Amino acid sequence: ETGVTQTPRHLVMGMTNKKSLKCEQHLGHNAMYWYKQSAKKPLELMFVYNFKEQTENNSVPSRFSPECPNSSHLFLHLHTLQPEDSALYLCASSHPGLGNEQFFGPGTRLTVL
């Protein structure tokens, strides 16, 4: 499989559930990102990992917990979410460095009931 893959593609969860989103990249990149896209809003950067180390946390609430076990995999662990957290969650990867384009996965459409 090539590119950036994300699972699941759709997720419905209650506010008390715990779930995880998974991202995998097959491009040999060393930087990985989580973005959130809400309706009628720009993509919002959530987290950045470079060489498995978190280098950016864009003031994301602690109910979102990222994990990057290696340069190819990125997880977003979710717990006690709110309905306003319903959004499209996109994973991306790139070579670290100025001007390098990010390659996106198809996203996970999350609905919190």
Partner 1 sequence: DQQVKQNSPSLSVQEGRISILNCDYTNSMFDYFLWYKKYPAEGPTFLISISSIKDKNEDGRFTVFLNKSAKHLSLHIVPSQPGDSAVYFCAAGGSNYKLTFGKGTLLTVNP
CB 4 within 8 A of CB 61: no
Compute the Cα dihedral for 28, 71, 3, 39 and give only its sign. negative
Binders in 53-72 for partner 1, by CB under 8 A: 56
Report 7-36 residues binding partner 1 (CB under 8 A): 31
Considering only residues 73-102, where is the footprint of partner 1 by CB under 8 A? 90, 92, 94, 96-102
For residue 27, the minimal CB distance to partner 1 (Å) is: 12
SS3 63: coil
Size of the chain, expressed as the number of residues it contains? 113
Which residues of the chain form contacts with partner 1 (CB under 8 A)? 4, 6, 31, 40-43, 45, 48, 50, 56, 90, 92, 94, 96-107
